[in-house]
Amino acid sequence: MLSIELAGRKIDIKPVVIDDLAAMIEVSEAIGEHLFNFGGALVDNLPNALRFLETGARVDGEFLRKLSMPDAVKLSAKIIEANPDFFAQMLAKNHLGGLSGAVADALAGSMLSLDSSEPISTEKM
């Protein structure tokens, strides 16, 4: 568990629990490219940015709407910090998926054949 103090209130941030997983996935996908640039999410997608903060920090919307923009960004960073596995999976799914073929090809091209010291050519595959 991580803690942060914002607007005179201590907020304890715990890892996302299974009950909140679907909501966190939905709101993280709605924020999309702004997930790691939360200031952009606040400007471009305020309703989902607030839902992200509510779900991730388990704090009511009334309190969140009174936060300054820098405090909201700090809170989003703490939510991500408290849930590294979840956000690593989101990053891999949303941003690295298109690279998997290229990465596999590069790795295959650098692998050694089991019976020689020559690299395996991906052109033969």
- 28-86 pLDDT, tens per residue? 988 888 888 899 999 999 999 999 999 999 999 999 999 999 999 999 999 999 998 88
Confirm if 45 and 31 have CB atoms less than 8 A apart: yes
- 4-41 pLDDT, tens per residue? 999 999 999 999 999 999 999 999 988 888 888 899 99
Confirm if 56 and 16 have CB atoms less than 8 A apart: yes
pTM: 0.72
Counting Cβ atoms within 10 Å, is residue 41 exposed (0-12), middle (13-18) or buried (19+)?
buried
- 90-115 pLDDT, tens per residue? 767 665 554 455 554 554 444 444 44
